[in-house]
Amino acid sequence: MFKKSLTPEQALQKLKQYCGYQERSHSEVVDKLYSLGVWKNEHDAILSSLIEQGYLNEERFAIAFAGGKYRIKQWGRVKIKYELKQKKVSDYCIKKALAQIDEEEYLATLKKITEQKYAALKSEQYMVRKKKTFDYLMGRGFEPGLITAALASITEKKEG
């Protein structure tokens, strides 16, 4: 079963549509090139063409990815950073993307999620409830120090 490979021009057209649909990372585009059966020695030319024409922009991708995962899925910075690293995005672009997340809004989101999770576990014992809430928020990618502070503010209100 030999796969027919596309010409560089055909591949470029397909990738323009692929990148036009939504922001893509460089590694996603390279994976797509492999799946289209394009020879490795033609990758650089196609990638540089996409970048020159504005279809591929790593910084724009990182900002869109971080913003979307934070706003829609309510992920924390740690998880967003990890996912961007998995997509081989540069540290510079990751820093720039995370800087776009508003600090006050971020803390408010963390507090809201913490309250929701803590309330959902009301049948649990106090320490178990705290631990499960902490673990849940760690899984969402929030920083341990911020989680501890958010939990402390909630449990003080409940106790007092």
What are the E-state strand segments in the chain?
Answer: none
Full-model pTM: 0.89
Do 43 and 71 reside in the same domain of the chain?
Answer: no
Instruction: Count CA atoms closer than 13 A to 158's CA, side-chain side.
Output: 13
What range defines the domain where residue 76 resides? 58-99
pLDDT of residue 133: 96
In residues, how long is the chain? 160
**Is pLDDT of 1 > 50?**
no
Do 94 and 108 reside in the same domain of the chain?
Answer: no
**d(Cα 27, Cα 10) in Å, to the nearest integer?**
19
**Is pLDDT of 47 > 70?**
yes
Domain assignment present for residue 3? The answer is no
Segment 95-104 mean pLDDT: 96
Domain assignment present for residue 121? The answer is yes
pLDDT of residue 3: 55
For residue 133, how many other CB atoms are within 10 A of its CB? Answer: 25
Do 107 and 154 reside in the same domain of the chain?
Answer: yes
Q: Is 93 helix (H, G, I), strand (E, B) or coil?
A: helix
pLDDT of residue 7: 82
What is the tally of structural domains in the chain? 3
Band the pLDDT of 40: cuts 50, 70, 90: confident
Segment 110-124 mean pLDDT: 94
Compute the mean pLDDT over every residue in the chain, rounded to the nearest whole number. 92
